[in-house]
Amino acid sequence: MVPRARSGTSPRTQGSVAGLMRLTAHRMKRRPIPQVVGDSNRPSVTHNAPERPSRVSLECMTDQTPDAYGGIARFYDRVIEPLNAPLRRAAIDLLNPEPSASVLDVGCGTGGLVEALVDAGAEVAGIDLSESMLSIAQDRVGDRANLQHGDATNLPFPDDHFDAVTASLFLHELDPHTREAAISEMSRVAKPDGSIALIDYRIGSLRIKGRFLRAISTVAERMAGSEHHTNWRTYMGNGGMPSVLGDLGLAIDREKITAGGNLAIWIVSGPSR
């Protein structure tokens, strides 16, 4: 694992006192943390994989259903994952986890990044709100990772637990308050000398490949439901991840622009960690 630089070492985004206070306030509001099941270094699998949906329900593609990904989970790996495969490799190159590093992937979806981290030798846990997405992730990784159904804003892990915490293509779809709460939780469960790696849409100039991918992304974000689409637009309109992190007093230690400029991977540090 690459040691994280502390506050002010190479910040593209400088943390503010107000951001630190907001992050602290999120932490103070958090709910009690349930016990981790099993060995603290490698929690046992606690997710019971549900049946995959037998057919696509258009109803599941709206925001009103409990599982917002119920309708698209079974297509996700066929349609989206081929585009994301290079992203997984780039994220692991940048994060560079040590063998047996403990890594939590938040909003793990169908487990593409979880599997790549396992293949890189990490001890991996994943958490996601969608039973349908988790079911596919469970099929993908079996007992090679600990997958749990749960909410990113209330992670069932103790403070300072993981060497690294990742979130891939997940934070943009949350409303601003939930996004801040999720990042605050990621920060809480990462060890003080651990890393947080975020992969998400980037604001900035696009190469031809990036324009093509942004067009596809725009369609996908529209199809994901009105709330998801609104949150994505808000995220993009407000300056994307550097702005989100700056508001929370977290600094970007390293950045890799990828997918023709459409996406980036950020390794985060900050004064409140």
Ligand X SMILES: C[S@@+](CC[C@H](N)C(=O)[O-])C[C@H]1O[C@@H](n2cnc3c(N)ncnc32)[C@H](O)[C@@H]1O
The answer to the question of residue 128 lying near ligand X (CB under 6 A) is yes
- C-alpha distances (whole Å) from 231 to each of 19, 82, 116, 235, 238 are 20, 24, 28, 6, 10
Give the shortest CB-249-to-ligand X separation in angstroms.
22
| DSSP structure class, residue 267 | E
Based on CB atoms, which residue is closest to ligand X, 157 or 170? 170
Give the shortest CB-141-to-ligand X separation in angstroms.
13
Among 5, 36, 108, 164, binds ligand X (CB under 6 A): 108
- Polymer length in residues for the chain: 273
The answer to the question of residue 107 lying near ligand X (CB under 6 A) is yes
CA–CA distance, 215 with 66 (Å, rounded to integer): 28
* Alpha-helix runs per DSSP H in the chain: 17-29, 73-79, 81-95, 112-119, 131-141, 176-189, 208-223, 226-237, 240-247
Identity of the residue numbered 24: T
Based on CB atoms, which residue is closest to ligand X, 179 or 251? 179
Report, in angstroms and rounded to the nearest whole number, the Rg of the chain calculated over CA atoms: 17
The answer to the question of residue 135 lying near ligand X (CB under 6 A) is no
Residue 189 neighbours by CB under 8 Å, 6+ apart: 104, 155, 157, 158, 159, 160, 161, 162, 165
**Residues 205, 108, 133, 77, CA torsion sign:** positive
The answer to the question of residue 109 lying near ligand X (CB under 6 A) is yes
Among 13, 130, 138, 231, binds ligand X (CB under 6 A): 130
The residue at minimum Cβ distance from ligand X is: 109
Give the shortest CB-98-to-ligand X separation in angstroms.
22
Among 95, 101, 113, 147, binds ligand X (CB under 6 A): 113
Based on CB atoms, which residue is closest to ligand X, 45 or 108? 108
Among 23, 133, 189, 259, binds ligand X (CB under 6 A): 133
Is residue 220 classed exposed, middle or buried when 0-12, 13-18 and 19+ CB atoms within 10 A define those classes? Answer: middle
Q: Give the interface segment with ligand X, choosing from 105-113, 188-196, 211-219, 234-242 (CB under 6 A).
A: 105-113
The answer to the question of residue 183 lying near ligand X (CB under 6 A) is no
Give the shortest CB-2-to-ligand X separation in angstroms.
21
Please report, as residue ranges, which positions from 138 to 157 form the binding site for ligand X (by CB under 6 A): 151-153
Q: Which residues here bind ligand X, judged by CB under 6 A? A: 69, 84, 107-109, 112-113, 127-130, 133, 151-153, 168-170
